A and B are shown apart, each in its own frame.
Chain A
Amino acid sequence: MKIPFISLLATLGSAFAAQVSVLGINDMHANIDDLPQLATFLKTERAADPDVLLFSAGDNRTGNPYVDNGDQPGVPMIKLMNMLGFDLSTMGNHEFDSGLIGLRDSLDAANFNFVCANVQADGGAELNLKPYHIFERDGVRIGVIGLVQIGSNGLPDVHPDNGKGLKFSDPFKAVRDYAYLREKCDVLILLTHLGFEDDIKLATLFPEADAIIGGHTHTRVDGAHMVGGVMITQTENKVKYITRLTFDVEDGKIVSKKAELIPLRELAKDADMQAAVDTTKASPYMQRRLGSVKPAITRRESLGCLMADSLRAYAKTDVAVVNFGNVRLEEFPEGPFIVADCYRLDPFCNKTVVFKATGKELTDFLNAIPSSDHHGAPCVSGIRYKAVKPAAELQPMRITEITQPDGTPIDPDKYYTVATNSYLMSTVTPLPADPGVAHDMDGARAIMLYMDGKENVDYSNVSNIDVTVE
Chain B
Amino acid sequence: MLVYVNNTSVMIFSGATAIDAVRRYCTDAGLSLHEGEIYDAWGNVIAADSPMADGRHIFTQSPQ
* CB-CB under 8 A for A217 and B50, given A197-B40, A225-B42, A426-B27: yes
A351, B15: Cβ atoms closer than 8 Å = yes
A219, B19: Cβ atoms closer than 8 Å = no
Residue of A nearest to B12 (CB): A435
Most buried by A among B33, B45, B54: B45
* CB-CB under 8 A for A218 and B47, given A195-B53, A225-B42, A427-B27: yes
Option from A219, A220, A237, A439 in Cβ contact (under 8 Å) with B15: A439
Least Cβ distance of A329 to chain B in Å? 24
B47, A237: Cβ atoms closer than 8 Å = yes
User: For residue A351, which residues in chain B have a CB less than 8 angstroms away from its CB?
Assistant: 15
Could you pull out 29 A-B pairs where Cβ atoms are within 8 angstroms?
A157-B51, A195-B51, A196-B46, A197-B40, A216-B51, A217-B40, A218-B47, A218-B49, A219-B45, A219-B47, A222-B44, A225-B42, A236-B47, A372-B27, A425-B13, A425-B16, A426-B12, A426-B16, A426-B20, A427-B27, A427-B33, A429-B28, A435-B12, A435-B13, A435-B14, A436-B14, A437-B14, A438-B13, A438-B16
B1, A435: Cβ atoms closer than 8 Å = yes
A437, B13: Cβ atoms closer than 8 Å = yes
Pairs A-B, 9 closest by C-beta atoms: A438-B15, A218-B47, A426-B20, A436-B13, A426-B23, A218-B50, A220-B45, A437-B14, A435-B13
Option from B12, B13, B40, B54 in Cβ contact (under 8 Å) with A219: B40
Residue of A nearest to B54 (CB): A152
Please tell me if A313 contacts chain B, counting CB pairs below 8 Å.
no
Instruction: Give chain A interface residues in 351-381, CB to chain B under 8 Å.
Output: 351, 353, 355, 372
User: For residue A197, which residues in chain B have a CB less than 8 angstroms away from its CB?
Assistant: 40-41, 53, 56
User: For residue B47, which residues in chain A have a CB less than 8 angstroms away from its CB?
Assistant: 218-220, 236-238
Across chains A and B, the number of contacting residue pairs, with CB separation under 8 Å, is 94
B16, A219: Cβ atoms closer than 8 Å = no
Residue of A nearest to B24 (CB): A426
In the bound complex, CA of A438 to CA of B14 (Å): 6
Other 6 A-B pairs with CB < 8 A, given A238-B47, A422-B16, A426-B23: A197-B41, A197-B53, A221-B44, A236-B47, A426-B19, A429-B27
User: For residue B13, which residues in chain A have a CB less than 8 angstroms away from its CB?
Assistant: 353, 355, 422, 425-426, 435-438
Please tell me if A1 contacts chain B, counting CB pairs below 8 Å.
no
B interface size (C-beta, 8 A): 29
Please tell me if A428 contacts chain B, counting CB pairs below 8 Å.
yes
User: For residue B20, which residues in chain A have a CB less than 8 angstroms away from its CB?
Assistant: 422, 425-426
B44, A196: Cβ atoms closer than 8 Å = yes
User: For residue B41, which residues in chain A have a CB less than 8 angstroms away from its CB?
Assistant: 197
Instruction: Give chain A interface residues in 396-442, CB to chain B under 8 Å.
Output: 422-423, 425-429, 431, 435-440
In the bound complex, CA of A450 to CA of B19 (Å): 28
In the bound complex, CA of A251 to CA of B19 (Å): 48
In the bound complex, CA of A426 to CA of B56 (Å): 16
Instruction: Give chain A interface residues in 279-294, CB to chain B under 8 Å.
Output: none
B51, A217: Cβ atoms closer than 8 Å = yes
Least Cβ distance of A141 to chain B in Å? 31
User: For residue A431, which residues in chain B have a CB less than 8 angstroms away from its CB?
Assistant: 11
User: For residue A353, which residues in chain B have a CB less than 8 angstroms away from its CB?
Assistant: 13, 15
Interface string of A110-147 (1 = CB under 8 A from B): 00000000000000000000000000000000000000
Least Cβ distance of B47 to chain A in Å? 4
Least Cβ distance of B32 to chain A in Å? 11
User: For residue A219, which residues in chain B have a CB less than 8 angstroms away from its CB?
Assistant: 40, 44-47, 50
Interface string of B3-29 (1 = CB under 8 A from A): 000000001111111011101100110
Most buried by B among A225, A237, A426: A426
In the bound complex, CA of A257 to CA of B20 (Å): 37
User: For residue B33, which residues in chain A have a CB less than 8 angstroms away from its CB?
Assistant: 427
In the bound complex, CA of A429 to CA of B24 (Å): 9
User: For residue A422, which residues in chain B have a CB less than 8 angstroms away from its CB?
Assistant: 13, 15-17, 20
